Amino acid sequence: MNRRQLLAAPALLGAAAALPLPALAQEFPSGPVRGIVPFAAGSATDTVARLFGEKMREVLGQPVVVENRAGANGLIGAEAVARAPADGQTVLFGTNSTNAAANALFRRVPFDMERDFAPVSLLCSVPLLVAVAANSPHRTLADLLAAARARPEGLTFASASASQRVSTEMLAAMAGVKLLHVPYRASPAAVQDLIAGRVDLFVADQAVILPGVQGGQLRALGVTTKERSAQLPDVPSVAEQGLPDYEIFAWFVLCAPANTPARAIERLNAAARHAGADATLRERLGTGMGMTVRTGSPDEARAFMRAETVKWTNAIRAAGIEPE
């Protein structure tokens, strides 16, 4: 080392010591972010994840690689994220099923909905549609409920997630009817069986049902929110059809494992908000699927999930659903 280098070395070391640690370490994310979707490809959650992930790359500088880990009403995929390293490189595209309803629906949940996850941002929400096949004899919700009263457990309903099951059981309880539950692993399979007449009823996210309605294969009998859907303005809400207290909707949230560094949460949140502000994404989710984009802060997401956990727990108990 020459004299000039020797003289410069202390100054360089001092400057390096003054730098914050993140500037010395590799910037987050260090590689592709693994986005776990706890439901099958083609589900509403999968669609949300892929649209958000595509735009989040513009902020993260790394791709969000979507991985479908379906099964057990979303518990398998959610557990995978809860047990993942808390470095922000693995995230969950969660829902009301995994992050609000699970404890009330299942006796053994392999994670703690609040303690095992760090909320990043709420993403969007969507009403559900009460649907039958286009050739169903039940042309209105009143027709369907009358048939159910005449034949207790004579009509079947499909579900592939907690929101689908709870929304249907809640409808049945409020209407005073009994339906027979047919569980499915994935929504697309339930839709196909509904079209084929193998099940009588499917209450699912508008994003799942709308294509079949628009294609003439399904008939929507009601919307689960108090307001009608902008995409189906002629379809009345369930509340308008004799059940004024009925209201429920599905939502999607981005979470990381608990104890993920604040810097990673901030970067992921910035990426989610950037995606949520994109006009093309909002158009595809809104006009195309009836979803409302609702990105915000991590604290807002946490408060929302706590309130929704209370709401979904009360709905599950009111519907008389016993934990499995």
Residue 26's pLDDT is: 59
Question: Can you state the angle between helices 187-196 and 206-214, rounded to 10 degrees?
Answer: 40
62: number of CA atoms within 13 Å, CB side?
A: 17
User: Regarding beta strands 117-133 and 249-257, do their DSSP bridges make them parallel or antiparallel, or are they unpaired?
Assistant: antiparallel
Residue 148's pLDDT is: 97
Cα–Cα distance between 180 and 169 in angstroms, integer? 10
R_g of the chain, CA atoms, integer Å:
23
User: Which mean pLDDT values do the consecutive 10-residue runs of the chain (324 residues) have?
Assistant: 45 42 62 96 92 98 97 94 98 95 92 96 96 97 97 96 90 96 93 97 93 96 94 96 94 98 98 98 90 96 96 88 85
Residue 101's pLDDT is: 92
Secondary structure in 3-state letters for the chain: CCHHHHHHHHHHHHHHHHCCHHHHCCCCCCCCEEEEECCCCCCHHHHHHHHHHHHHHHHHCCCEEEEECCCHHHHHHHHHHHCCCCCCCEEEEEEHHHHHHHHHHCCCCCCCCCCCEEEEEEEEEEEEEEEEECCCCCCCHHHHHHHHHHCCCCCEEEECCHHHHHHHHHHHHHHCCCCEEEECCCHHHHHHHHHHCCCCEEEEEHHHHHHHHHCCCEEEEEECCCCCCCCCCCCCECHHHCCCCCCCEEEEEEEEECCCCHHHHHHHHHHHHHHHCCHHHHHHHHHHHCCEECCCCHHHHHHHHHHHHHHHHHHHHHCCCCCC
